[in-house]
Amino acid sequence: MKSLCCIFDLDGVLVDTAKYHYLAWKRLAATLGFDFSEQHNERLKGVSRMASLDILLEVGGIKGLPEEEKRDLAEKKNTWYVAYINRMTPSEILPGVLDFLHQLKAAHVKTALGSASRNAPLILKRTGLACFFDAIIDGNTITRAKPDPEVFLLGAQALDASAGRCIVFEDAAAGVEAALRAGMKCVGVGNPNLLHKATMVVPGFENLIWEELKSSLITLKN
């Protein structure tokens, strides 16, 4: 495997924004008269905004809402979420991420962001991470949510790379599935029980060495 490229999910992989999504969804559920737990929230990881709303409404047993009302609810949640992330700082970049991204830059590895978040540009600006990416594919670009592989295929296209040369970093089962469906190797970041389908799983980026990771991936199959 030569000239590898890396594609990163954003929320929960590079930055700690998952808590803000959860707070906003939980607040929305409360206005609708039911509780939304952290366990429920696991189902939303890597899923688009409208698909996440459908899951939340399913949890609350709410059916048959008009599309216009659903769009209003999703926009209300997003307004709260944006207010939260507008207070973000580089301190919310997850441990080890900056060091790993610097390693990739030093090794001249092309990188892309592959996120379902429509707020990715704001998050990258608030945390100072935008300079590390050669391409950004986000919720403003894609039309199909993970586990559809569109976001990662567009990332590979933007990097002028074949799918087989791309390594995806994901923290959600839907994202892992999307990467594998794209024909890419996938490094799961987080819980191995949730990410067991990934090519390999790491607990995080702390002490992660690019050259060692690359060597390990060469010997593994999807």
The position carrying tokens 């391409």 is: 135
DSSP-derived 3-state class of residue 109: coil
Q: Which two structure tokens, joined as six digits, stand for 188?
A: 């799961």
Q: What's the DSSP call for residue 121?
A: H
Return the percent helix, strand and coil in the chain, to nearest 5.
45, 15, 40
Is 134 catalytic? The answer is no
Q: What are phi and psi of 10, to 5 degrees?
A: -105, -65
DSSP-derived 3-state class of residue 147: coil
Kind plus residue range of the DSSP H or E element containing 201: strand 200-202
List 11, 138, 148, 160, catalytic entry:
11
Strand partners, 135: 112
* Residue 142 contacts residue 113 (beta carbons within 8 Å): no
Is 9 catalytic? The answer is yes
What's the burial of 127, exposed, middle or buried (CB within 10 Å: 0-12/13-18/19+)? buried
CA distance 31 to 138: 29
**Which active-site residues does the annotation give?**
9, 11
